[in-house]
Structure 1
């Protein structure tokens, strides 16, 4: 069980921290909520105590004998602040220690994650920009806010990311604390990364399609971690079962033909292309009108024939583009439980496609698709590399570490 100190700033998004507290508790973490005095104007102390199961304090003098700020600082495995307001971030960046939350942050050696939420103008203000840079320089992870509808009628960057997304990020930082350095140093800043994900849908007729079991979770995890490391991320999303991460551009597509058209353009202007989409190798020759089923008492068990045509090999097309100093990562989902054969198939595909890195896993028996966990092996031209077993977020960190290393050699 990990100890999570959940700080809550005084913004309207404080109500979303209630769900975040519940999600963290349900994941098995021991949650201690430390709101600011302003946060209590939005959500009262009894709510936080009921959700966390622990007493809630806001000031150092609330429990003098317990020296609460030091106790929390020493026992915390991670400190999360959601929402982190502009004022609160300014005080943390300046090293202030004028309430329980800022004092705890100043005293802790645990990773600190801030999830900002504020009006777009405040987020883009030069003072806030400088404060974010200072916070990152001090080793604090600042997750960029989401874009969308704000309080009132305004819209733009400044929304608190969904609690589910923040909770996933907390689990990642707890499991992979070494990735904090890459996020605070923004080691992928200035890099344009295009990530395709999800499963394509190939039309049979105007109302039916052929699809696959890909959920988009792996590509989503890569996009989320890449954005946290400073990259300019553009997602090309086929059908997915999960919401897309905040702080990225998104283009939606349906079929492999759509994918080929979009990627032909985006891939030419990218520093990194990660082809995590499950694209169909074959698509039906689609009927122009709805195909009617057989009717009648003797129709049960009747069959029909679909004519299939081969779809474009999008990964090979990307690799054949004349683009200098670009890294291309492909994925291979195989159905052989024999690891030696799995790696042999991956090595052959890597050579055939011409990509710089291939990520391969065994999906036989429905494994991996739609789950939070994965088992991948990264394959280079020189042979198989690291094997990662764990969450898809952990795999995303490893893949992007490999991408960063490849970029450094160009």
Structure 2
């Protein structure tokens, strides 16, 4: 695994040497990226010798290589240790004034932050608000240890021991090592080169499910269909637009497949080449599209497949979901109503051969609940 290790300007920066050694001894490649202030506490030569990689933290050196994008893209995960109060404030507010911050903002990798500072600075409401903001964005912020600080003071704010940081970053989570594919958003089938048949799915439910799987340690592939809202950090994202593109992107083995995308039921037989003139009367012939999740389940019998059923308001969600469970040959069906489209909250009826579960809440809450429920169901199968 390729780890980008950010080191910020606190007295605990010297402990980054032990952290580099610990990660490299586990077989990981470490690219150390200290800030200018960090180099006041630990030498560049030490970091280069331990990591085996050269260090150049000048954002304006070799500008043509776009180094901040390269550093962010090449990292499988990002660890910042120690992280000062100043760094937490900059990250929470997206202030990119050095190479480290630019690399972080240019990356989609999972981020782990290990704060270290004086007790009063850690407990300051501004710092706590910044920590809450980062955690809400899916960034993992480690609680600092208590102990001897700079000078004679003792209290919370000490950088945790190396082994504790490694366990925080690499520790086993319930779904560590599992591969999960989540589809999200809505497909679009072209009528001509500017018009299409689509739907109003925002993709938010699929994004929250992907985020919840990421937080449980899974390796997540998110196939995003025409989604405008930001993608979660720490997941691989593939873009797709049409049913055919989504079908191709899905053709990869995985342990769990969550079909949360709203897939067009029909496509145009012969899309018009160019822009269809307003004045031309035209009959559009529609052809049914393939049932992607049913086909995937038939071809990947070892994968736990979850289909979604969008049901008209007032209809029997459980009955429709049970019918689709059998017809599609999947492991579970999550049923919800049309009213959930574009809404911040929803209700899910989860149907499996073991029974039915229901839960209402925000889409963030439902994403977490669905992942936990599927995990428990898989444990029983």
With the length of structure 1 as denominator, give the TM-score of the two structures.
0.58
Distance 2:133 2:196 in 1: 44
SS in 2 for 1:396: helix
Shift of 1:185: 5.2
- The aligned runs of 1:247-396 (5 Å cut-off) are 247-263=234-250, 265-266=251-252, 269-285=253-269, 286-294=271-279, 304-324=282-302, 326-338=303-315, 341-363=316-338, 367-385=339-357, 387-396=358-367
Deviations 1:17-74 (A, max 9, x none): 2479xxxxxxxxxxxxxxxxxxxxx9xxxxxxxxxxxxxxx85579xxxxx96x98xx
Alpha-carbon distance change, 134 to 370 in structure 1, aligned in 2, over 3 angstroms: same
Whether the 8 Å CA contact 1:199–1:215 is kept in 2: the answer is yes
The range that moved more, 304-313 or 191-200, is: 304-313
2:90 to 4, 15, 20: 15
- In the TM superposition, 1:209-224 aligns within 5 A as 209-224=196-211
Change beyond 3 A, Cα 1:323–1:282: same
Q: Cα distance, 1:309 vs. partner?
A: 0.5
Q: Where in structure 2 are there 5+ consecutive unaligned residues?
A: 1-82, 96-100, 102-116, 136-140
- Check the 8 A contact 1:193/1:270 in 2, yes or no: yes
CA distance in 1, matches of 2:350, 2:213: 18
- Contact 2:259 2:306 survives alignment (8 Å): yes
**Inter-CA distance 304–390: structure 2 relative to 1 (3 Å threshold):** same
Preserved contact between residue 195 and residue 236 of structure 1 (Cα < 8 Å): yes
In 1, are the aligned partners of 2:147 and 2:156 still within 8 Å (CA)?
A: no
Matches within 5 A, 1:154-169: none
Distance 1:91 1:392, change over 3 A: closer
Q: 1:350 deviation in Å?
A: 1.0
Aligned length: 269
Question: What residue number does 2:194 align with?
Answer: 207
Deviation readout 1:172-218 (Å, 9 max, x if unpaired): xxxxxxxxxxxx75111000000010000110011111110100000
Q: Hey, what's the Cα distance between the residues in 1 that align with 2:194 and 2:142?
A: 54
Structure 2 Cα separation of the partners of residues 105 and 185 of structure 1: 25
2:165 corresponds to 1:132:
yes
SS of the equivalent of 2:200 reads: coil
CA distance in 1, matches of 2:300, 2:260: 21
> Aligned-pair distance for 1:333?
0.8
SS in 2 for 1:225: helix
> Once structures 1 and 2 are overlaid, which stretch shifts more, 373-382 or 196-205?
373-382
- TM-score, normalised by the number of residues in structure 2: 0.62
Consecutive unaligned residues in structure 1, runs of 5 or more: 1-7, 21-41, 43-57, 63-67, 84-88, 107-126, 136-141, 145-183, 296-302
